């Protein structure tokens, strides 16, 4: 049985571009093609991280306000995002 580690597809794509850009000695050489491939992935990654951080901060606010309905909704959204990380 294979254990899947929670890694978002964005991170897998960035890792692939990095792997394709390395020489046999492990030196990274990002050419124009690699940079063009990485730019949208980096932007998408930033958006994902910002959204996840925003939701986690909101969950703390909801908890502090003792608003369990809001907290449950935020937790549902966090779970949806994290489920995409496989």
Question: How confident is the model over 37-56, as pLDDT tens digits?
Answer: 999 999 999 998 899 999 99
For residue 2, being part of any structural domain is answered with no
For residue 3, being part of any structural domain is answered with no
For residue 25, being part of any structural domain is answered with yes
Domain tally, the chain: 1
8 A C-beta contact, residue 86 and residue 11: no
Looking at residues 5-29, what average pLDDT do you find?
A: 89
Q: Any idea which residue has 């949208």 for tokens? A: 40
Tell me how many helices (H) and strands (E) the chain has: 3, 0
Task: Give the number of residues written for the chain.
Answer: 86
For residue 1, being part of any structural domain is answered with no
For residue 4, being part of any structural domain is answered with no
Residue-number span of the structural domain to which 76 is assigned: 9-83
- Is the pLDDT reported for residue 67 higher than 90? yes
For residue 62, being part of any structural domain is answered with yes
For residue 13, being part of any structural domain is answered with yes
pTM over cut 0.95: no
Question: What is the per-residue pLDDT for 8?
Answer: 82
In the predicted model, what is the mean pLDDT of the chain?
90
């Amino acid at each position: 049985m294979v254990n899947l580690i929670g890694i978002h597809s964005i991170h897998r794509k960035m890792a692939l571009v990095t792997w394709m850009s390395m020489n046999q000695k492990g030196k990274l050489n990002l050419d124009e093609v690699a940079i063009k491939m990485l730019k949208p992935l980096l932007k998408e990654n930033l958006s994902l991280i910002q959204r996840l951080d925003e939701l986690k901060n909101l969950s703390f606010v909801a908890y502090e306000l003792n608003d369990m309905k809001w907290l449950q909704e935020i937790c549902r959204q966090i779970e949806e995002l994290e489920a995409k990380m496989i």
